[in-house]
C-alpha cells in the first residue's frame, strides 16, 4: 500500500480506534505462550510489545520474524499469536496466521484495513501509518493485560 493511502486512512482508523469498532475479545484465561510476529518496522513493534506484556503478565512472551516463527515454533492450542503487518498480502505475512490457524490457536492481527488475511483471524485491528500502529498496538495490549489480570 502506498504511503498516501495510509495517510488517507488516518481519520477513519482513529475514529474506529477510539470508538472500539474492533473485534476485541479477551484473551483466554489459560494462555500458554504469546508469540508476536513482525518484519521491518513491525518487528520493532513486536519487540516493544513483548516487553510490555512481560512487564505486566506472568506469561512467556516471544517475538520473531514470520519465516523463523513458522519454521521453529511448536504451538499448542493454549498459545496466542499476534501478527503485526502493514499490508498482509505477501507470503511472509500470510504464513504465520495460516500456521497458527492450523494449530488451533487464538490469532490477533494488526494490519491495514480489511485484507483477506483479516478474515482468517480471531481479532483484527487496523491502522494507518506507523505512529498509529504503535499507539493502537500498545493500547489494545494494555486492554488485554487489564482484562486478563482482572479475570
Confidence category of residue 110, pLDDT binned at 50, 70, 90: confident
pTM confidence score? 0.77
In a domain, 78, yes or no: yes
CA separation for the pair 98, 78 (Å, rounded): 16
Asked if 142 contacts 24 with a C-beta cutoff of 8 angstroms, the reply is no
- Total of domains in the chain: 1
Mean model confidence pLDDT for the chain: 81
* 129, three cell numbers: 501509518
Classify residue 145: in a domain, yes or no.
yes
Owning domain of residue 121: 30-149
Phi–psi pair at 110, nearest 5 degrees? -110, 115
- CATH code of the domain covering residue 78: 3.40.50.10490
**pLDDT tens across 64-107, in order?**
999 999 999 999 999 999 998 877 667 677 889 999 999 999 99
**Residue 17 domain-assigned?**
no
Amino acid at each position: 500500500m502506498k504511503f498516501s493511502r495510509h495517510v488517507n486512512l488516518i481519520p477513519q482508523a482513529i475514529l474506529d480506534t477510539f470508538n472500539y469498532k474492533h473485534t476485541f475479545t479477551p484473551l483466554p484465561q489459560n494462555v500458554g505462550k504469546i508469540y508476536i510476529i513482525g518484519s521491518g518496522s513491525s518487528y520493532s513493534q513486536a519487540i516493544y510489545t513483548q516487553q510490555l506484556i512481560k512487564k505486566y503478565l506472568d506469561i512467556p512472551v516471544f517475538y520473531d520474524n514470520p519465516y523463523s516463527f513458522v519454521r521453529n515454533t511448536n504451538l499448542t492450542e493454549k498459545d496466542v499469536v499476534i501478527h503485526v503487518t502493514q499490508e498482509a498480502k505477501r507470503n511472509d505475512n500470510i504464513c504465520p496466521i495460516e500456521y497458527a490457524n492450523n494449530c488451533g490457536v487464538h490469532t490477533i492481527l494488526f494490519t491495514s484495513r480489511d485484507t483477506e488475511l483479516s478474515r482468517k483471524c480471531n481479532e483484527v485491528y487496523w491502522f494507518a501509518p506507523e505512529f498509529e500502529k504503535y499507539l493502537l498496538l500498545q493500547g489494545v495490549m494494555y486492554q488485554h493485560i487489564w482484562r486478563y489480570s482482572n479475570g
